[in-house]
């Protein structure tokens, strides 16, 4: 019987995107596995960009060619990566805090989620993300892979929502010829057995996956959702980009609640989950100045992922958790949106990715 494997990619900005492309290439080599063949692809923020690209048929090698500005790089990827969203956000607008995120953070004991909810309304331009999604999308407005999930958070409630989840057919693994199972997945992924909040799933039309439960998201999510809007919603960093309105609800970066949301894969009865987490790490270089803010966020996100990984492992799922180490953190610096550091990030990632993946495989074996 083949291994049922999920791929979960976390948030990380433009530098996390670059590091992740290298990490995915190393994972493919170490496992002799095409990451596009994962039974489910789930991504948050920068991870949402990448799983959308993988779901459309692009490979880690394609991502790296575009990042390296090779002349024959995929034109959609090259055009997207050429856009610099800026090192810092524009001056914020006037708006009430995201009370839902504050509440979700307090319930979860997550200081960074609560603080994210207190940030003013961002005014960044997310059109580059929408353009990317629409360039990747097929005739149906999504991607070919039947289980490409993009995670955002409801700004009013703090609940996570996984756009695309109801398109998943759960009885057989996805194959590159496009064939997959015919039995529909049970009504949407539920966070359970240790996760913090009720989780909803939205299909491509924006309809909720859960018919009961009286959630405001369920009642409001009725308008069509295209891939560009879903990526923009997953990327809507509080204080940087404005919330994205879908189905009458405002959504923000899913990373404001969970950096990876690997726990949302628990109900799928997977054998293995590969986690690529650019915003979490064990250890790092000494922090000074602005670095301390980044390290605070990274420490919070690491603890959150620790809980998600434990939940999966406690339920018999093998987890391969790949994270950057001190050399990569030093190359990235404190600002994950500083595209000037992309070449250094790629170089550090390439120098260390295979070691990080092999260490992740060793840890996964010991944890069984």
Domains of the chain: 5-91+98-367 (3.40.1090)
Look at residue 84 in the predicted model and tell me its pLDDT.
96
Look at residue 169 in the predicted model and tell me its pLDDT.
38
Q: What residues in the chain have per-residue pLDDT under 70? A: 1, 94-99, 104-106, 108-119, 166-224, 283-290
Catalytic residue among 45, 234, 259, 261: 45
Q: Is 171 a catalytic residue?
A: no
Q: Is 253 a catalytic residue?
A: yes
Distance CA 59, CA 11 (A): 19
The structure's pTM equals: 0.85
CA dihedral 10, 167, 138, 152 (to 10 degrees): -30
Catalytic residue among 25, 39, 226, 253: 253
Strands 249-253, 148-154: pairing is antiparallel
pLDDT tens, position by position, 210-265:
333 434 333 334 445 889 999 999 999 888 899 999 988 989 999 989 999 999 99
Which residues, other chains included, contact 169 with Cβ-Cβ below 8 Å and sequence gap of 6+? Answer: 146, 147, 180, 181, 182, 183, 184, 185
Look at residue 362 in the predicted model and tell me its pLDDT.
96
Look at residue 269 in the predicted model and tell me its pLDDT.
92
Look at residue 175 in the predicted model and tell me its pLDDT.
31
- Please report where in the chains the tokens 């060619």 appear, as a residue: 65
């Amino acid at each position: 019987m083949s291994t049922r494997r999920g791929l979960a990619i976390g948030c990380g900005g433009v530098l996390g995107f670059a590091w992740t492309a290298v990490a995915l290439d190393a994972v493919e080599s170490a496992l002799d596995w095409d990451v596009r063949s994962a039974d489910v692809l789930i991504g948050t923020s920068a991870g949402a960009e990448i799983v959308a690209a993988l779901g459309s048929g692009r490979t880690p090698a394609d991502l790296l060619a575009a990042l390296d500005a090779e002349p024959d790089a995929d034109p959609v990827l090259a055009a997207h990566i050429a856009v610099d969203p800026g090192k810092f956000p524009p001056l914020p607008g006037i708006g009430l805090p995201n009370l839902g995120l504050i509440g979700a953070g307090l319930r979860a004991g997550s200081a960074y989620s609560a603080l994210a909810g207190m940030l003013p309304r961002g005014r960044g331009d997310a059109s580059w993300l929408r353009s990317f999604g629409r360039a990747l999308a097929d005739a149906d407005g999504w991607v070919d892979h039947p289980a490409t999930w993009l995670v955002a958070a409801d700004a009013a409630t703090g609940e996570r929502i996984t756009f695309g989840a109801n398109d998943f057919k759960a009885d057989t693994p996805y194959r590159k010829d496009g064939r997959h199972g015919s039995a529909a997945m049970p009504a949407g992924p539920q966070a359970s057995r240790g996760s913090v909040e009720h989780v909803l799933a939205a299909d491509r039309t924006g309809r909720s996956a859960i018919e009961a439960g009286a959630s405001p998201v369920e009642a409001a999510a009725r308008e069509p959702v295209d891939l560009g809007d879903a990526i923009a919603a997953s990327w809507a960093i509080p204080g940087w980009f404005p919330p994205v309105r879908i189905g009458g609800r405002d959504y923000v970066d899913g990373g404001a609640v969970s950096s990876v949301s690997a726990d949302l894969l628990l109900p799928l009865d997977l054998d293995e989950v590969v986690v690529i987490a650019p915003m979490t790490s064990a250890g790092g270089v000494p922090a000074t100045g602005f670095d301390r803010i980044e390290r605070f966020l990274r420490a919070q996100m690491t603890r959150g992922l620790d809980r998600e990984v434990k939940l999966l492992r406690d339920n018999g799922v093998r987890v391969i958790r790949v994270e950057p180490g001190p050399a990569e953190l030093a190359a990235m610096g404190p600002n994950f949106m500083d595209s000037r550091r992309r070449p250094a990030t790629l170089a550090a990632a390439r120098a260390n990715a295979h070691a990080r993946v092999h260490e992740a495989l060793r840890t996964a074996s010991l944890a069984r």
